[in-house]
Amino acid sequence: MTRSLKAVIDWSFADLGLNRVEIQASLNNRASASIPERLSIRRESIRRQSEVINGVSLDMACYAAFADNWPPKPPARALPTNELQVDNEILLRQHIGSDYQDMWKALEAGRDYLGKYLPCMAAYKTEDDYERLHTARRLEGDNFDGSRAYIVQYKGELAGTVGLGIPNRDNVIEVDYWLRQDLQGRGIMTRSVEAVITMLFVEVGIHRVTIRAATSNLASRGIPERLGFKHEGTMRDGGFVNNEYLDLEIYSMLDHEWLASSTNA
């Protein structure tokens, strides 16, 4: 089907003189969505409840190919790597299906601790809530938008995650993270974030990395501070967790600053 779709798009542009070809696939149908993705066709949008099949309203992912960029040229910016071996204790990798139970157990066990600063915890009242929202988020993930989330695996156990936002047009990206409470104080997240930032500056070519942390979250703030990030200021009421606004501290690092100071880069 991938080869068939490519042939149809070739014919549409070369013989019919079309300018744009759209492909739609249900978010629930990963097999179908993977076909344009294998051809490097970027997803443009999600059309909410735009198709009704057997009485069920479906969200549709919309992909578009263009005559002036066919076959699609590779993105100018390299995509983040799928896996990072930080050291002999820590591996950063992509989510796999078997992570589901371990992730839920880690979140539920640390509910009081994590719930102070992670807005998503309020939505995870039950395991069913977590399964539904986690599945929806993964289905909406776009492998071509540059965003990425890593599982932090420490000595073979799921320890937390490191997330990357979507790089903006100014070549800036934001990094976020959380770690199990019982694994605090071992340098796990500092080492993990350090490896991710080196990858972003050296391999991806990002110019600026930002980290936001609640003013009262000293453990989270300690990571950019230990890594030499500059404190830029306080975003007043910049976060909303548990029906309360939180002040956020803003930290940043520039590529030339990191390359000049990091022995790993």
Beta bridge partners of 177: 162
Domains 2-69 and 84-261 share a fold: yes
How many Å apart are CA 105 and CA 221, to the nearest integer? 25
134: enclosing H helix or E strand: helix 127-139
The 10s digit of each residue's pLDDT in 67-88 is 999 998 866 677 788 899 999 9
The 10s digit of each residue's pLDDT in 185-242 is 999 999 999 999 999 998 888 999 999 999 999 999 999 999 999 999 999 999 999 8
Neighbours of 48 (CB within 10 A): 10
- Higher-pLDDT residue of 216 and 148 is 216
Beta bridge partners of 136: none
**What's the pTM?**
0.68
- Token readout for 160 is 């937390």
- Higher-pLDDT residue of 61 and 12 is 12
- What is the CATH number assigned to the segment(s) 2-69? 3.40.630.30
Which pLDDT score, from 0 to 100, does residue 139 have? 60
Q: Using DSSP bridges, classify how beta strands 208-214 and 244-254 pair: parallel, antiparallel or unpaired.
A: antiparallel
Q: Is the pLDDT of residue 172 over 90?
A: yes
Nearby residues of 226 by Cβ (< 8 Å), 6 or more positions away = 190
Which pLDDT score, from 0 to 100, does residue 142 have? 47
CATH architecture assigned to 84-261:
3-Layer(aba) Sandwich (3.40)
Which pLDDT score, from 0 to 100, does residue 132 have? 78
Which pLDDT score, from 0 to 100, does residue 208 have? 96
Neighbours of 27 (CB within 10 A): 20
Which pLDDT score, from 0 to 100, does residue 248 have? 97
The 10s digit of each residue's pLDDT in 100-134 is 889 889 989 989 988 898 888 888 888 888 877 77
- Higher-pLDDT residue of 234 and 95 is 234
Q: Is the pLDDT of residue 46 over 50?
A: yes
Radius of gyration of the chain from its Cα atoms, rounded to whole angstroms: 21
DSSP code of residue 68: G
**Residue ranges per structural domain of the chain:** 2-69, 84-261
Beta bridge partners of 43: 63
